Amino acid sequence: MTTLSNPGDTDILLVIDVQNDFCPGGSLAVPDGDSIVPGINALAARFAHVVLTQDWHPAGHSSFASAHAGAAPFSTTAMPYGEQILWPDHCVIGTRGAAFHAGLEIPHAEMVLRKGFRPAIDSYSAFYENDRTTPTGLAGYLRERGFTRVFGTGLALDVCVRYSLEDARRLGFDAVLVEDLARPIDTHGSLAAAMQAFAASGVTLVRAAA
């Protein structure tokens, strides 16, 4: 297994959705989600360039099971843009659950990208909403800044980290999963699917710790 060597000027670290609701005690807690926070801080200190993403939903968002009569959390429904997993209410704009984990310390992060703010569409990827065509603007930002390689960390490995890295590849960036600094939800076989998707799309894997 490869250990991450020193990042360069055209590398950027993406820290995906390290928010209270995805950590133990949160409404969509990822098992062990908070355990990666110290490692992400340490890794971020080695990168000159870091972008944070923040899942950021209006109350009553269409990805919430509570917005669909009779639907249970983690069931699926057909949306105009395809199948959508219905989640417990999470990361509602302005709530404590939507705030970054208090232990996250990356003062030099250059941008915070919010996603999932359109009521009718979910957004897993940092690059596209779940219709896979509505852009967030991140690709343009990265290109204009001259970044060519994206390293992915955070939550959840098999949802937002997965789609962000797959889309990075689709858009022509090199993409690397820092596998010891991401944790999965693992619902509907999503962890196995994510690992297959990484291999199929050319996302490579490294470890931050030796």
Binding site for ligand VGL (CB under 6 A): 17, 22, 55, 87, 155-156, 159-160
By CB under 5 A, residue 180 contacts Zn ion:
no
Q: Of the candidates 160, 165, 161, 136, which has an alpha carbon nearest to the alpha carbon of residue 150?
A: 165
Tell me how far apart the alpha carbons of residues 127 and 105 are, in angstroms, rounded to a whole number.
Answer: 24
Catalytically annotated residue among 11, 17, 21, 167: 17
115 catalytic? Reply is yes
Query: At closest approach, how far in Å is the CB of 170 from Zn ion?
Result: 21
The residue among 45 and 102 lying less far from ligand VGL, judged by its C-beta, is: 102
Applying CB under 5 A, among 21, 55, 129, 179 the residue interacting with Zn ion is 55
| Smallest separation (angstroms) from ligand VGL to the CB of 108 | 22
- Work out how close the CB of 125 gets to ligand VGL at its nearest, in angstroms, rounded to a whole number: 10
Catalytic one among 115, 158, 167, 180?
115
Q: Which does 64 bind (CB under 5 to 8 A by kind): ligand VGL, Zn ion, none?
A: none
Choice between 159 and 178, CB closer to Zn ion: 159
Q: How many CA atoms lie within 13 A of 171 on its CB side?
A: 27
3-state secondary structure 145-193: HCCCEEEEEEECHHHHHHHHHHHHHHCCCEEEEEEEEEECCCCCCHHHH
Q: How far is the first Cα of the chain from the last one, in angstroms, to the nearest whole number?
A: 9
Q: Which does 160 bind (CB under 5 to 8 A by kind): ligand VGL, Zn ion, none?
A: ligand VGL
Q: Cα–Cα distance between 46 and 5 in angstroms, integer? A: 10
Catalytic residue list contains 91: no
Q: Which does 156 bind (CB under 5 to 8 A by kind): Zn ion, ligand VGL, none?
A: ligand VGL
Q: Which of 153, 167, 53 is nearest to 110 (CA)?
A: 53
The nearer residue to Zn ion, 43 or 65, going by C-beta atoms, is 65
Q: CB-based contacts of 44: which residues, under 8 Å, 6+ apart?
A: 13, 15, 50, 106, 108, 109
In whole angstroms, the minimum distance from the beta carbon of 146 to ligand VGL comes to 27
89 is known as an active-site residue: no
Residue 82 CB contacts under 8 Å (≥ 6 apart), including other chains: 130, 131
Partner in contact with 155, chosen from Zn ion, ligand VGL, none, beta carbon below 5 to 8 Å by kind: ligand VGL
> From CA 65, how far away is CA 50, in angstroms rounded?
33
* Cβ-contact 56, 91 below 8 angstroms: yes
Positions that interact with Zn ion (CB under 5 A): 55, 116
Catalytic residue set: 17, 115, 160
